[in-house]
Each structure stands twice: as structure tokens, then as C-alpha cells.
């Protein structure tokens, strides 16, 4: 290994990475399509789109060219009192793609900040109207990011445990299932009828980090209807689901009742650069359009609407049409469905599910103690890497979420690797 790679361990703390003296992060030197090339010559299939961000493939020539062009013109400019074309064109195109009722958006830096903005705007919306509505409702098992507001509306678990005393109070309802939907509706009805709730935040159709749990659009519609009837604002956190994860470009396209806010990030720039968007309706926008200085939204980030990031997002939107990303995703969804059938009967597998780009399954947890010391996810992660596939299980949930550019051969080899790894787990438990 080169000298630079050995210094990683010395100088850098990595995200969600447990400390281990022997830890080696894999140095990647190049990417192309769905492939990542490591310094030691190993090639990995990026079967999780580098944490759900990559859409058209790594180092895509078209996005590269557009960014290079923009770079020579304007790299960045303050976004308060100033504006630029990439930001305006992107806003126009995104809002058109989102459709009614979204009329304005606010730029920020990433998924967590897109969520923070929606939370803050929803609380201030009511203040601007002269009402105090301090509470928020969220789903159990949700993940909305790692900043304080986003943590507050996420599941309270071991990941957020050190900060619980600093997080504002949130009312939680279970993620709907066929068994609990009536009960969830009742819970929600009771909470919203108190009149002190600013907003309900949710991940539409798929809870990502919470284990790729899937919900039917009809259940979410019923919950959104309860919110709307009780004048509670609704926030769709599409940071993960946006850009075809659920088969449609946005998950909310499959809902009849449209949320007041939509948060986007991750694949927004095709996975190139950090950028967050919070889109909202005209009635939200109007509540901030006032001569009263107290009605101003006092929020901003130094790199708000960075022109390079906006240009990457514009190029990605153009590729969605040019390369017919929707039909590629449709094809992948079909492969997933066929593959799902081949996993359902496997002895260590439970609850195989697929939607759009996502294929997920639970590895039977009753065997967890067998791997004491080494959680099953670590074993699975390493087994996949050893076979040249990047898959990062969420607890005992194994899933793939490839970039839309993945080839049939690459996808089928990933399924094959999944079979091999599951077989190895099965044998080590029974052998």
C-alpha cells in the first residue's frame, strides 16, 4: 500500500466507523459506471450506489464535462443578495418535475440540513401565522440525519443515545404494516387533535436506514389525510427515496395526497456533490413573504446553492431524460423481482422485498448469538467485500440499491454473490 493510504488511519475519523486498531479503509483511486477501482487492483461493484447517492455511474463523462465548464465560469458566490443561473434553472426544473403543489424551494448542503430547514420552516410557519405549535410527529424506526433537529425526529436508539437529553420531544407512531394500520391511524388522530403539532415528518414508501422497510402508498395517504384534516403540515423526507429508489422519480408521485414539504439530497446531483433542497407549497412560501422582519427565515449556509453542485444536479436531470433512467430502473426492478423469488426459500432469509432500485431481505436474527463479538452485519460486509461487491448491511438486513447504470451482467453477479454469502452463513451456522 502507498504511503498516503497508510496515513488515513492516523489523521481521519470516518463516518459510522467503529474504532478498531486493525481497521483498514480501502483506498479507491478511480470509479467508472457501477465499478470502483481500489489501489491494490481489486475491483468492487458499488451495489449500494455509494450510500444511495450515485445515479448514473461514477465519473460520468457528461456530468464531468458540465462541471468542468461551470468551473471555468463561476465556482461559487454568496447566495444572499446575489443569485446565478444554475440555481434558478435547477429550481425551475426541479419544481416542474415535482409538479403541483410545489412552488418554491430552499437550498442547503445535504440531507440533514434539508430536513432541518423543513422542521424550522414548519415551526416558523405557525409562528408567522400567530400560532404556537411546538410538537412534531415522526415514525418509529426512522432516520432523518445526524444534526440535532434531524436526530430529534429520528428513532431514539444507540446511535443517538449520548444526545437524548438535548433532543426536543417528539411523538412517535409505528411505521404502518397490514396488521397495525388501523391502530397507527388512531394514534395519529389522537396526537394531531391536540392542536399543538407543527408537522408530521416521514420517509415515503421506504424507510432507508431503518432497514429498508416498505409501506403501501394507500396507508401513507390515509395518514396524510388525517394530518391535512387537522391542519398539521407534512414533510416528505425523500433524501433516500428521491430519484427512482421507489421506481418513480419521487416516491410522492405514488401518493394521492401531497405533503407540504419535500426534502431532497443524495442522488440530486447524481451523487457528485453535496446539495440539499427543501421544496414547499405556495401557502408555506406566503407565510414568509411579509414586511415584518420577524417573519423572515433566518437560515443559511456558506455554500448555499453552490453553482458547481447545482450544475451537477442539472446535468443529472438532463441525463434522466437522455438516458431514459426510468426504463433502466424499471428493468432493474424486474431483475430484483425475479431474484427475490430465488431468495425467499433460503433457510437463513426472511421477508424478501423489493421496490424500484431496492432489493432487501432480513437474515434470520435468532442466530445472532452464534456470531457473538462479531455482529452478523460485519461478517456479511466482509464476505461481500472479499468477493468484490460493496454491500453494507443495516443490522441483519441485507440489501442492494445499485446505480441505475448497472449492467445486467454486473447485477446478476451481485445476486450470485448474495447466494454464495448466504450459503456460507447457512453452513457456518449448521456446519
d(CA 183, CA 15): 37
- CA separation, residue 69 to residues 61, 269, 311, 322 (Å): 12, 16, 9, 19
Q: In the chain, helix, strand, coil percent, each to 5?
A: 45, 20, 40
Binding to ligand PLP (CB under 6 A) within 196-225 occurs at 203, 208-209
Binding residues with ligand PLP: total (CB under 6 A): 14
- CB of residue 359 vs ligand PLP: minimum separation in angstroms? 17
- Which of 57, 145 has the CB closer to ligand PLP? 145
- CB of residue 271 vs ligand PLP: minimum separation in angstroms? 11
- Which of 33, 208 has the CB closer to ligand PLP? 208
Counting contacts by CB under 6 A, is residue 265 touching ligand PLP?
yes
Q: Over the range 267-276, which residues count as b (16 or more CB within 10 Å of their CB) and which as e?
A: bbbbbbbbbb
Counting contacts by CB under 6 A, is residue 144 touching ligand PLP?
yes
Q: Over the range 330-342, which residues count as b (16 or more CB within 10 Å of their CB) and which as e?
A: eebbebbeebbee
Bridge partner residues of 361 (DSSP): 398
Closest chain position to ligand PLP (CB)? 111
Q: Terminus-to-terminus CA distance in the chain, angstroms?
A: 36
- Which of 201, 406 has the CB closer to ligand PLP? 201
- CB of residue 393 vs ligand PLP: minimum separation in angstroms? 16
Helical packing angle, 408-430 and 325-344, nearest 10° = 20
- Which of 239, 405 has the CB closer to ligand PLP? 239
- CB of residue 283 vs ligand PLP: minimum separation in angstroms? 24
- Which of 192, 251 has the CB closer to ligand PLP? 251
**Count of C-beta atoms within a 10 Å radius of residue 48:** 21
Counting contacts by CB under 6 A, is residue 249 touching ligand PLP?
no
Binding to ligand PLP (CB under 6 A) within 145-184 occurs at 145
- Which of 254, 417 has the CB closer to ligand PLP? 254
Answer for which of 35, 45, 55, 115 binds ligand PLP (CB under 6 A) is 115
Q: Which residues contact 369 (CB under 8 A, 6 or more apart)?
A: none
Counting contacts by CB under 6 A, is residue 235 touching ligand PLP?
no
Answer for which of 54, 108, 110, 269 binds ligand PLP (CB under 6 A) is 110
Counting contacts by CB under 6 A, is residue 112 touching ligand PLP?
yes
Phi-psi region of 289 (alpha: psi -120 to 50; beta: other; left: phi over 0): beta
Counting contacts by CB under 6 A, is residue 143 touching ligand PLP?
yes
Q: Which residues contact 329 (CB under 8 A, 6 or more apart)?
A: 244, 247, 356, 357, 404
Do 252 and 239 contact (CB within 8 A), yes or no?
Answer: no
Q: Which of 135, 138, 154 is nearest to 194 (CA)?
A: 135
- CB of residue 85 vs ligand PLP: minimum separation in angstroms? 25
Answer for which of 240, 249, 267, 284 binds ligand PLP (CB under 6 A) is 240
Answer for which of 155, 237, 260, 362 binds ligand PLP (CB under 6 A) is 237
Bridge partner residues of 107 (DSSP): 277
- CB of residue 47 vs ligand PLP: minimum separation in angstroms? 17
Bridge partner residues of 390 (DSSP): 46
Q: Which of 125, 147, 131, 168 is nearest to 297 (CA)?
A: 125
- Which of 240, 348 has the CB closer to ligand PLP? 240
Answer for which of 36, 239, 397, 414 binds ligand PLP (CB under 6 A) is 239
Task: Name the H helices within 265-306.
Answer: 282-288
Only one of the segments 107-115, 242-250, 336-344, 409-417 lies at the binding site for ligand PLP (rule: CB under 6 A); that segment is 107-115
- Which of 240, 359 has the CB closer to ligand PLP? 240
Q: Which of 186, 185, 154 is nearest to 167 (CA)?
A: 154
- Which of 128, 160 has the CB closer to ligand PLP? 160
**Count of C-beta atoms within a 10 Å radius of residue 184:** 21
Answer for which of 111, 307, 402, 403 binds ligand PLP (CB under 6 A) is 111
Q: What 3-state class would DSSP assign to 382?
A: helix
- Which of 110, 248 has the CB closer to ligand PLP? 110
Counting contacts by CB under 6 A, is residue 403 touching ligand PLP?
no
- CB of residue 313 vs ligand PLP: minimum separation in angstroms? 14
- CB of residue 424 vs ligand PLP: minimum separation in angstroms? 29
Site residues (vs ligand PLP, CB under 6 A): 110-112, 115, 143-145, 203, 208-209, 237, 239-240, 265
Amino acid at each position: 500500500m502507498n504511503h498516503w493510504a497508510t496515513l488515513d488511519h492516523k489523521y481521519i475519523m470516518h463516518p459510522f466507523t467503529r474504532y478498531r486498531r486493525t481497521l483498514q479503509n480501502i483506498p479507491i483511486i478511480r470509479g467508472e459506471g457501477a465499478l470502483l477501482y481500489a489501489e491494490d487492483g481489486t475491483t468492487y461493484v458499488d451495489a449500494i450506489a455509494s450510500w444511495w447517492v450515485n445515479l448514473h455511474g461514477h465519473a460520468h463523462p457528461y456530468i464531468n464535462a458540465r462541471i468542468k465548464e461551470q468551473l471555468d465560469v463561476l465556482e461559487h458566490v454568496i447566495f444572499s443578495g446575489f443569485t446565478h443561473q444554475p440555481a434558478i434553472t435547477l429550481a425551475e426544473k426541479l419544481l416542474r418535475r415535482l409538479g403541483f403543489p410545489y412552488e418554491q424551494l430552499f437550498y442547503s448542503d445535504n440531507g440533514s440540513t434539508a430536513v432541518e430547514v423543513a422542521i424550522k420552516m414548519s415551526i416558523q410557519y405557525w409562528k408567522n401565522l400567530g400560532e404556537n405549535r411546538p410538537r412534531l410527529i415522526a415514525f418509529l424506526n426512522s432516520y432523518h440525519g445526524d444534526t440535532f433537529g434531524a436526530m430529534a425526529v429520528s428513532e431514539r436508539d444507540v446511535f443517538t443515545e449520548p444526545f437524548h437529553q438535548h433532543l426536543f420531544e417528539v411523538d412517535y407512531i409505528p411505521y404502518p404494516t397490514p396488521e397495525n394500520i388501523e391502530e397507527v391511524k388512531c394514534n395519529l388522530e389522537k396526537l394531531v387533535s391536540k392542536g399543538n403539532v407543527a408537522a408530521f415528518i416521514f420517509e415515503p414508501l421506504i424507510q432507508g436506514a431503518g432497514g429498508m422497510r416498505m409501506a403501501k402508498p394507500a396507508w401513507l395517504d390515509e395518514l396524510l389525510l388525517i394530518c391535512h384534516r387537522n391542519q398539521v403540515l407534512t414533510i416528505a423526507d425523500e433524501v433516500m427515496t428521491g430519484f427512482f429508489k421507489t421506481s418513480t422519480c419521487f416516491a410522492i408521485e405514488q401518493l394521492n395526497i401531497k405533503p407540504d414539504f419535500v426534502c431532497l439530497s443524495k442522488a440530486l446531483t447524481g451523487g457528485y456533490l453535496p446539495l440539499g433542497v427543501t421544496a414547499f407549497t405556495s401557502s408555506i412560501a406566503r407565510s414568509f413573504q411579509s414586511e415584518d422582519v420577524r417573519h423572515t427565515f433566518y437560515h443559511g449556509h456558506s455554500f448555499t446553492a453552490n453553482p458547481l453542485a447545482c450544475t451537477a444536479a442539472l446535468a443529472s436531470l438532463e441525463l434522466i431524460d437522455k438516458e431514459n433512467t426510468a426504463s433502466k430502473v424499471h428493468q432493474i426492478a424486474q431483475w430484483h423481482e425475479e431474484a427475490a423469488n430465488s431468495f425467499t426459500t433460503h433457510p437463513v432469509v426472511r421477508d424478501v422485498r423489493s421496490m424500484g432500485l431496492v432489493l432487501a431481505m432480513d437474515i434470520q436474527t435468532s442466530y445472532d448469538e452464534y456470531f457473538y463479538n462479531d455482529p452478523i452485519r460485519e461478517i456479511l460486509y466482509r464476505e461481500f467485500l472479499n468477493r468484490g461487491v460493496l454491500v453494507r448491511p443495516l443490522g441483519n438486513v441485507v440489501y442492494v440499491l445499485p446505480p441505475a447504470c448497472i449492467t445486467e451482467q454486473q447485477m446478476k453477479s451481485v445476486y450470485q454473490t448474495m447466494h454464495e454469502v448466504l450459503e456460507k452463513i447457512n453452513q457456518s451456522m449448521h456446519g
